[in-house]
């Protein structure tokens, strides 16, 4: 493993990718859940499924592209059996790295294998307030979460972490995007998009911020999550959305969610095949129709509790499957964006801490470029601002672990050790002053004495997190130009007519 000193805070500079430099981890050792031969076997089994069983594509454009490249297509059942040659052709046109754009270049996020990012996800339907009350979410909650995300250095993209349920369903995703972009300079993950008509309006809004279609394609302001349907379905809206986004240069995550024992085999290896086959089946259709489309290898395999029927995203089998997925992304040379967390805890507490921390560490050490899900509870149904702050703290620690230990003359400090000999006053040496800021420092965790903690009123981590949230909400919100605000309002109004 290698180590890079922690960069200065993004707010201290305005150069391109300033925020990303906070999260440069450089080349680092990776945890391999599977050996190279087993990764290849999952790939080859996926090819066999595509060739012999096929996938249901509920999109005529997808079927046309596949048939043109040798797939056996049954128009009545919408099943396409895809030859390996078509898959290999599609894989050759995939971009291996690209940038997720912020509102300005200092917030851009290169997906290049040298960085690790934590982002917000959506789309919960309930909010846990500071007093513990849980209620339905609204657009103001989306805005508040975006403001907190803006101020947390370890969060790199915002999203509609909750649904704007007080807005019309047909334009809800536009209102959510509006709330995110007005209140944060960071990249936006779009979750609740359903149709290509919504994509066209979103693209117009993003073009207004970027300065045009070419500028948006070069530095796309948003990324969409497009779910497949397990087992082995590509539904029409998702495929048509993928084509519309690809043509505009907008990245998207292909996101299967197979459930062990329900929509996929109960064996993790079998579910890994279903997961990978669904991703490959979408890649081949999109790349054959739109070569060069920006695709992120994503996904959130989960497990079924056979007693209750509940799904679990933070049990060992789910975590292992996401680690395998990071390896599959690396096998194809694609950026890996993985869901994490999904804790079943109903409020910020020890269960949410151990589930989120173990998932986060496993996925990043397995090679994820970014993971998303910060701030969510109860299987992603409840959002708590305090959880956002806690997840931000945990990711700071994970980032430091990813950087590892640098071994060179400066870090080995042989001359210093020889100079000090048997004296213990390293504290006052210039070498310590030069490197002390490279050490990770807790912001929310308890670091003082028992007596000091008692004197301070015995504060909990959740109370400290709430204090941090209140400080961020008290700041001036991110500025947003009046002309852009008016244009957003006009686009939304036109979509509501």
For each of the chain's 497 residues, which pLDDT tens digit applies?
A: 333 333 333 343 457 899 999 999 988 788 999 999 999 999 999 999 999 999 999 999 999 999 999 999 999 999 999 999 999 999 999 999 999 999 999 999 999 999 999 999 888 999 999 999 999 999 999 999 999 999 999 999 999 999 999 999 999 999 999 999 999 999 999 998 988 899 999 999 999 999 999 999 999 999 999 999 999 999 988 999 999 999 999 999 999 999 999 999 999 999 999 999 999 999 999 999 999 999 999 988 888 888 887 778 888 999 999 999 999 999 999 999 998 878 999 999 999 989 999 999 999 999 999 999 999 999 999 999 999 999 999 999 999 999 999 999 999 999 999 999 998 899 999 999 999 999 999 999 999 999 999 999 999 999 999 999 999 999 999 999 999 999 999 999 999 98
Q: Give 419: exposed, middle or buried? Use CB within 10 Å, 0-12, 13-18, 19+.
A: exposed
Write out the DSSP string of 299-366.
E--EEE-TTT--EESSSHHHHHHHHHHHHHHHHHT--EEEE------SSSSHHHHHHHHHHHHHHHHT
- Per the listing, tokens 């099943």 go with 79
Q: Which pLDDT belongs to residue 27? A: 83
In angstroms, the first-to-last Cα distance of the chain is: 56
CA distance 102 to 215: 12
Beta bridge partners of 225: 253
Inter-CA distances, 331 with 317, 380, 429, Å: 21, 29, 47
Strand 370-374 relative to strand 117-120, pairing: parallel
Alpha helices in 152-186 (DSSP H): 172-183
Q: How many CB atoms lie within 10 A of CB 397?
A: 16
Task: Delimit the CATH 3.20.20.480 region(s) of the chain.
Answer: 10-27+93-403
- Per the listing, tokens 């599959």 go with 328
Work out whether the CA dihedral 149, 151, 156, 158 comes out positive or negative.
positive
pTM above threshold 0.75: yes
Inter-CA distances, 85 with 329, 354, 398, 406, Å: 19, 44, 40, 44
Q: Which pLDDT belongs to residue 14? A: 59
Residue 360 near residue 373 (C-beta atoms within 8 A): no
Residues in the chain: 497
CA distance 227 to 224: 10
Enter the tokens of residue 311. Answer: 């799904």
Q: Which pLDDT belongs to residue 387? A: 96
Q: Which DSSP state fits 219?
A: S
CA distance 34 to 40: 10
Beta bridge partners of 185: none
Chain center to CA of 203: 20
CA distance 455 to 470: 22
Q: Which pLDDT belongs to residue 376? A: 95
Q: Which DSSP state fits 475?
A: S
CA distance 415 to 412: 9
Q: Which pLDDT belongs to residue 13? A: 47
Q: Which pLDDT belongs to residue 290? A: 97
Burial per residue of 354-364, b for 16 or more beta-carbon CB atoms within 10 angstroms, e otherwise? ebbbebbbbbb
CA distance 86 to 288: 8
3-state secondary structure of 453: helix
Q: Which pLDDT belongs to residue 306? A: 83
Enter the tokens of residue 33. Answer: 């859940």
Angle among Cα 324, 335, 304 to the nearest 5 degrees reads: 35
- Per the listing, tokens 């709330």 go with 179
Strand 98-100 relative to strand 109-111, pairing: antiparallel
Superfamily name and number for 10-27+93-403? Trimethylamine methyltransferase-like (3.20.20.480)
Work out whether the CA dihedral 391, 393, 397, 402 comes out positive or negative.
positive
Strand 376-377 relative to strand 382-383, pairing: antiparallel
Enter the tokens of residue 372. Answer: 């998303």
DSSP H/E element including 189: strand 187-190
Enter the tokens of residue 390. Answer: 């806690």
Strand order in the sheet with 302-304: 259-260, 302-304, 311-312
């Amino acid at each position: 493993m290698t180590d890079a000193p922690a960069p200065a805070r993004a707010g201290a500079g305005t150069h391109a990718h300033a925020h990303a430099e906070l999260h440069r981890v450089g080349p680092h050792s990776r945890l391999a859940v599977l050996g190279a031969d087993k990764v290849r076997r999952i790939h080859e089994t996926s090819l066999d499924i595509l060739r012999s069983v096929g996938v249901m594509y509920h999109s005529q454009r997808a079927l046309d592209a596949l048939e043109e490249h040798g797939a056996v297509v049954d128009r009545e059942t919408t099943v396409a059996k895809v030859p390996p040659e078509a898959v290999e052709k599609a894989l050759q046109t995939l971009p291996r790295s690209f940038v997720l754009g912020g509102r300005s270049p200092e917030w851009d996020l290169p997906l290049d294998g040298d960085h690790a990012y934590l982002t917000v996800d959506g789309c919960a339907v309930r909010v846990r307030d500071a007093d513990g009350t849980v209620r339905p979410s609204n657009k103001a909650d989306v805005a508040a979460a975006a403001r907190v995300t803006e101020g947390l250095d370890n969060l790199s993209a915002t999203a509609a972490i909750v649904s704007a349920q007080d807005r019309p369903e047909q334009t809800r995703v536009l209102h959510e995007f509006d709330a995110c972009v007005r209140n944060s300079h960071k990249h936006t993950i779009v979750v609740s998009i359903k149709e290509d008509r919504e994509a066209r309006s979103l693209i117009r809004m993003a073009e207004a911020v970027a300065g045009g279609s070419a500028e948006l394609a070069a530095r796309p302001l948003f990324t969409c999550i497009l779910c497949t349907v397990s087992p082995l379905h590509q539904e029409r809206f998702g495929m048509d959305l993928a084509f519309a986004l690809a043509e505009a240069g907008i990245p998207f995550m292909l996101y299967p969610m197979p459930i062990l024992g329900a929509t996929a085999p109960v064996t993790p290896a079998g579910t890994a095949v279903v997961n990978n086959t669904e991703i490959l089946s979408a890649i081949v259709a999109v790349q054959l129709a739109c070569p060069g489309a920006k695709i992120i290898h994503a996904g959130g395999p989960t497990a079924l509790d056979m007693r209750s029927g509940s799904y679990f995203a933070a049990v060992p089998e789910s975590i292992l499957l996401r680690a395998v997925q990071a390896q599959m992304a690396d096998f194809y040379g694609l950026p890996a964006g993985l869901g994490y967390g999904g804790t079943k805890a109903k409020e910020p507490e020890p269960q949410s801490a151990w589930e989120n921390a173990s998932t986060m560490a496993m996925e990043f050490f397995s090679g994820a470029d970014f993971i998303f899900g910060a701030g969510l509870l109860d299987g992603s149904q409840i959002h708590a601002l305090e959880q956002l702050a806690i997840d931000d703290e945990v990711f700071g620690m994970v980032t430091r672990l990813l950087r590892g230990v640098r071994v060179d003359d400066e870090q080995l400090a042989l001359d210093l050790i020889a100079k000090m000999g048997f004296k213990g006053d390293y504290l006052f040496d210039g070498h310590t002053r030069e490197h002390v800021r490279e050490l990770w420092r807790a912001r929310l965790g308890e670091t003082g004495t028992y007596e000091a903690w008692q004197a301070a009123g015995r504060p909990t981590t959740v109370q400290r997190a709430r204090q941090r949230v209140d400080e961020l909400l008290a700041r001036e919100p991110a500025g947003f130009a009046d002309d852009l605000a008016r244009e957003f309002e006009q686009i939304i109004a036109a979509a509501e007519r």
